[in-house]
Amino acid sequence: MAAPRWVAAVRRAPALLALAALAALASCGDAPEADGSPRASAGGAGAGGQGAGGASGTPVEAILDELRADRDAALRAHAARTGWPVPVDGGHLFVSTSASLHLLAGDHDGWTGAEMTGDDGFHWIVLNVPAGARYKLTDRTAWAADPWSRAITYDEFGEMSLVAPSAAHLERHFDVGDAAMEPRTVRAWVPEGNVERVLYVHDGQNLFDPAGPAGGWRLQDHAPPGVLIVGIDSTAARLSEYTHVTDRIEDGGALVGGMGDAYADFLRDTVRPLIRARYGEPGPVGIMGSSLGGLISFHAADRHRGEYAFAASLSGTMGWGSIGADVRHETMIERYAAHTAPVATLYLDSGGGGDCLDGDGDGIEDDDPAAADNYCENRQMRGVLTGAEAPYVEGASVFYAWHAGAEHDEAAWAARVAEPLRIFEAL
């Protein structure tokens, strides 16, 4: 395949920017803001322990002393324990690290705004507010969601902070990483009622926010009842983390990628235990992504067989490993062609179109320079999955869709993500 065609497709994806002169994602690798707020792609911590007006067992003054001694460390520590606002005797402790946003307003006071107490690099207030109350930080001119709030939702004004909601909502976990994977935010769409199954999805910063690239996926609008959707943010190392082998994507360029094993193990050994501890992990467990996120979903399902009942790929880069003219590493097409038993129920699709050619004789039909959205690679993958000797059965253990002409971007994936969610819900 001609490398420029693939690189151009990657660069069209709003999630991707250049990394070391290569196409990769720039997302949550930034340092904390100067005022101590989380990274732009980050948020608060998970679900457990945040009740309305309950006692935390930690006196307010003790938490304030922690903030005075090392504000940012204390903010992160309590985000990981109970989430902000922190439940304390008499209500919840709210903190603002903005010098100007020193009022706390919300449903509890008709959005008039209560003056917070100024302290050493932060403002604070303890209020007893109803469960599920919405709030923001303000000076009555500017309004901002609390960047440290655990629970959020979105409305016509953007992000909205919540206190101990019981309705469906988003929750955020800071700085989730391990020895091999740099810290990133993990976001969980928490359904109302019981969690019945869990779906892990890559590129988490693009999944829920309506202000995300091309409007984001808005997965909360498609989430089936009882499905906990966990979005794992990507980082500037996305290209490496989401690929199982190295490849060359620019003529004369260096080999890139190949950290897929470490990323799949990070999901198994770090992310999933966190989710189990906060929410449980009942029922079927699935994994899903787009572009390279689709590739790594199929890789993780194969690497950790029996761990995922469902793997979904939207416009997956299934020819990775054979893009460079001189590179002959195992593609996901070849790996799955060798299966003698299904690893999971599979979904794959693409938009685009084109003539599917193997001009360089490497066995991968990816050499039409006019083809788009990984159409040919996914058509070939569908063929090996449904061949006469294949262990998969179309319509039962593998599902394929072609959306002719659809672009390689979040808007296109959002338009068709309801179908893999429907299949997952039916398992």
Query: What's residue 251's pLDDT?
Result: 87
Q: Is 122 part of any domain?
A: yes
- My answer on whether 247 and 325 are in the same domain is yes
- My answer on whether 17 and 67 are in the same domain is no
Query: What's residue 209's pLDDT?
Result: 96
Of 122, 148, 174, the residue that ends a domain is: 148
Query: What's residue 39's pLDDT?
Result: 43
Whether 333 has a pLDDT exceeding 50, the answer reads yes
What domain range includes position 97?
60-148
Whether 206 has a pLDDT exceeding 60, the answer reads yes
- My answer on whether 104 and 217 are in the same domain is no
Contacts for 295 with CB less than 8 Å, ≥ 6 apart: 242, 243, 244, 260, 289, 313, 316, 317, 318, 320, 332
Three-state DSSP state, 273 = helix
Task: Report the run of H or E that residue 324 belongs to, with start and end.
Answer: none
Mean pLDDT taken over the chain: 89
Whether 7 has a pLDDT exceeding 60, the answer reads no
- My answer on whether 192 and 287 are in the same domain is yes
At 28, is the pLDDT very low, low, confident or very high (cuts 50, 70, 90)? Answer: very low
- Give the pLDDT mean for 328-333: 98
Q: Is 393 part of any domain?
A: yes
- My answer on whether 191 and 131 are in the same domain is no
Query: What's residue 37's pLDDT?
Result: 52
Predicted TM-score (pTM) of the model is 0.89
Of 148, 173, 202, the residue that ends a domain is: 148
- My answer on whether 186 and 143 are in the same domain is no
Residue indicated by tokens 């490398």: 3
Write out the two tokens for 74: 């204390």
Q: Is 107 part of any domain?
A: yes
CATH number of the domain at 379, please.
Answer: 3.40.50.1820
Q: Is 154 part of any domain?
A: no
Overall domain count for the chain: 2
Q: pLDDT, tens digit, for every residue of 363-376?
A: 999 999 999 999 99
Whether 20 has a pLDDT exceeding 90, the answer reads no
According to DSSP H, which parts of 247-396 are helical? Answer: 260-266, 272-279, 292-303, 332-337, 375-385
Phi, psi (degrees; rounded to nearest 5) at 307: -85, -30
Query: What's residue 49's pLDDT?
Result: 39
Q: Which amino acid is at 237?
A: A
Q: Is 20 part of any domain?
A: yes
- My answer on whether 201 and 98 are in the same domain is no
Write out the two tokens for 245: 């082998």
- My answer on whether 104 and 237 are in the same domain is no
Query: What's residue 38's pLDDT?
Result: 55
Of 132, 148, 164, the residue that ends a domain is: 148
Whether 44 has a pLDDT exceeding 90, the answer reads no
CATH number of the domain at 141, please.
Answer: 2.60.40
Q: pLDDT, tens digit, for every residue of 231-271?
A: 999 999 999 999 999 999 998 899 999 999 999 999 999 99
Write out the two tokens for 79: 């985000």
At 40, is the pLDDT very low, low, confident or very high (cuts 50, 70, 90)? Answer: very low
More confident residue, 8 or 358: 358
Query: What's residue 58's pLDDT?
Result: 75
- Give the DSSP letter of residue 325: T
At 57, is the pLDDT very low, low, confident or very high (cuts 50, 70, 90)? Answer: low
- My answer on whether 113 and 221 are in the same domain is no
Task: Report CA 229 to chain centroid distance, whole Å.
Answer: 9
Find the range with the poorest average confidence among 10-24, 92-106, 174-188, 350-364: 10-24
Whether 42 has a pLDDT exceeding 70, the answer reads no
- Give the pLDDT mean for 72-97: 96
Three-state DSSP state, 204 = helix
Q: pLDDT, tens digit, for every residue of 145-203?
A: 999 999 999 999 999 999 999 999 999 999 999 999 999 999 999 999 999 999 999 99
- My answer on whether 99 and 193 are in the same domain is no
Q: Is 19 part of any domain?
A: yes
Q: Is 52 part of any domain?
A: no
Query: What's residue 4's pLDDT?
Result: 33
- My answer on whether 198 and 312 are in the same domain is yes
Whether 11 has a pLDDT exceeding 90, the answer reads no
Burial class of residue 413 (count of CB atoms within 10 Å of its CB; 0-12, 13-18, 19+): buried
Q: Is 123 part of any domain?
A: yes
- My answer on whether 271 and 135 are in the same domain is no
Nearest Cα to 186, choosing from 268, 271, 262, 281?
271
